[in-house]
Amino acid sequence: MSTLLEMKGICKSFNGVPALQDVQLTLESGEVHALLGENGAGKSTLIKILGGIYSKDSGEIYIDGKQVQISNVKEARENGISIIHQELMMLPQMTIYENVFLGQEYKSNGFVKRSEMIEKTREMLKFFSLDLDPREKLGHLPIAQQQIIEIVRAISFGARIIVMDEPTSSLSDKEVDFLFSAIRRLKKENVGIIYISHRMSELDEIADRVTVMRDGGYVSTEVIKEVTREELITKMVGRTLGDYYVHTHTPSDEVVMKVTNYSDGDMVKEASFELHKGEVLGFAGLVGAGRSELMSCIFGVTKKKSGEITLEGQPLQINSVRDAMAAGIALVPEDRKQEALYLDQSVRYNMTIEVLDKFLKSGRYNAKKESAIVEEYVEKMSVKLASPSQKIIRLSGGNQQKVIIGRWLAGSPKILILDEPTRGVDIGAKVEIYHIIDELVKGGVSVIIISSELPEVIGMSDRIVVMGEGRIKGVLERNEADQERIMSLATSE
Ligand code: ADP
Ligand code: MG
């Protein structure tokens, strides 16, 4: 093996916010080199620099030991670099071979040599055991095959360094196997592959070495066989797994909300439970157990059919979300993209949309006050952003979630209901969200957390309500809860 690529001292800032600081990476020929890091660690930025999409602020790139300048995609290609992006970059309405030869058509005397391109494509497809007609429309193929076509295209350009940015995120297990066998063939041809993924299990299977990045910095490079998953996670998040869940508070016995015999006439059947002040109350159960439905009903999203709620000892009528919010209840829904985010809008807008009346003093909008609140919660939730005017869609999943939680905290709720708060969130942001929850309950807020990750419910909650088939099957104290007990309650008759 010989060193194909070396990147060193790479730095890059966006609008003054550093995204990469002194990052390095080496790639041998015939090597699969994994690039590992949480969302926002800087992986995509690093390879976009390699691919000539972003320009670096400083640093050097060497190919076969010779320093190269890569200032655009064409120069990257001329240096044998090809990037398969997270989003496929091809034209679905065109044929396979047209996609493969896009921008490099075979021509003689100005005429396009169709049959030669078709034959060449057929040959390359065979190499990857794809028995397809090159004249078929690309869009008709499953995503995994489209990805292989992108690889074929890269090779037809003479790529020796192929970067795959989270290629398996939308693939089934079988498709992943197929992609991996394609990667193994490329290895045999001495192509070097940079493989970005945060699926730890894949790395053991396909990668030779791994470089870990964290917060835009280089952490270390390891031989896959010589490093454990735990060690990699620790490197990735900068903490050990033991510190993962945060539970430093003591709940009170005081009942803040009592729900009695709640039914929605559909999924939820006579649910009763009590929530204590300063408590984290977990809701566990299988998918479809009725947990989200119960919370939607309490929050006034759906109508109840029967049941009562008392809040701090007083009966409470909730007929709408407005009623629930006025009573000091907040709910962060499960599907934040669908239900909670205004993707086209700024972070500021997304954070303050629910508390606008705070900045409307006698009908006049108080921008200063709004900015102050946004600043306070960006800081409290340690949201990573360039500016509050930035569109929220630019933020990682973890940071989006923090903005939404911040939105509800800005209204100072007594009860905060979090439905799957850490789904799709990277490990570092998860830990931050756990800290926020722990701090909130210390401040007297009561938190309900629905989670399908049992270790998370067990690690975070003071008590755990187990639901099944729309009913509450039991309540476990923190010290008696384990995965087995929860599962046997969830599935009990
Ligand atoms: P990863 O791929 O590891 O998830 P990225 O390289 O996408 O991380 O992002 C690293 C950091 O750079 C993030 O904080 C991200 O918000 C920021 N960033 C990436 N691209 C841009 C851009 N075009 N403009 C502004 N900030 C960006
Ligand atoms: Mg990325």
Cα–ligand 2 centroid distance for 488 (angstroms): 39
Give yes or no for residue 263 CB within 6 A of ligand 1: no
Probe ligand 1: pick from 23, 44, 195, max atoms within 8 Å of CB? Answer: 44
The tens-digit pLDDT sequence of the chain (493 residues) is 689 999 999 999 998 889 999 999 999 999 999 999 877 889 999 999 999 999 999 999 999 999 999 999 999 999 999 998 766 678 889 999 999 998 788 888 888 889 999 999 999 898 888 889 999 999 898 877 888 888 888 888 889 999 998 877 666 777 788 889 889 999 999 999 999 986 777 888 899 999 999 989 999 999 999 998 778 878 887 765 456 788 999 999 999 999 999 999 999 999 999 999 999 999 999 878 999 999 999 999 999 999 999 999 999 999 999 999 999 999 998 877 667 788 888 998 888 887 766 655 556 667 787 888 888 888 888 888 888 998 888 887 788 888 888 888 888 899 999 999 988 777 777 888 898 999 999 999 999 999 988 888 999 999 999 999 999 999 999 999 988 899 889 888 7
Give yes or no for residue 342 CB within 6 A of ligand 1: no
Give yes or no for residue 147 CB within 6 A of ligand 1: no
The owner of tokens 């990682």 is 396
Structural tokens at position 241: 């797994």
Please determine whether the domains at 3-237 and 255-490 fall in the same fold group of CATH. Answer: yes
Give yes or no for residue 14 CB within 6 A of ligand 1: yes
Nearest protein CA to atom 6 of ligand 1, as residue: 42
Cα–ligand 1 centroid distance for 45 (angstroms): 6
Quote the CA–CA distance of 128 and 177 in Å, as a whole number: 12
320-337 as b/e: b if 16+ CB within 10 A: eeeebbebbbbbbbbebe
pTM of the shown model:
0.58
Structural tokens at position 344: 């086209």
Give yes or no for residue 198 CB within 6 A of ligand 1: no
CATH number of 255-490: 3.40.50.300
3-237: what fold?
A: Rossmann fold (3.40.50)
Cα–ligand 2 centroid distance for 461 (angstroms): 32
Give yes or no for residue 44 CB within 6 A of ligand 1: yes
Please write the tens of the pLDDT for every residue from 46-55: 999 999 999 9
pLDDT computed for residue 337 by the predictor? 66
Give yes or no for residue 19 CB within 6 A of ligand 1: yes
Please write the tens of the pLDDT for every residue from 82-101: 998 766 678 889 999 999 99
**What are the residue ranges spanned by the domains of the chain?**
3-237, 255-490
The SS3 call for residue 144 is: helix
CB atoms under 10 Å from CB of 129, counted, come to 11
Give yes or no for residue 43 CB within 6 A of ligand 1: yes
Q: Which helix (H) or strand (E) holds 22?
A: strand 17-28
Query: Which atom of ligand 1 is found nearest the CA of 394?
Result: 16
> Which ligand approaches the C-alpha of residue 47 most closely?
1
Cα–ligand 1 centroid distance for 384 (angstroms): 10
> Which ligand approaches the C-alpha of residue 12 most closely?
1
Distances (CA, A) of 258 to 118, 327, 447: 70, 14, 14
Give yes or no for residue 41 CB within 6 A of ligand 1: yes
- Interstrand relation of 192-196 and 32-36 (parallel, antiparallel or unpaired): parallel
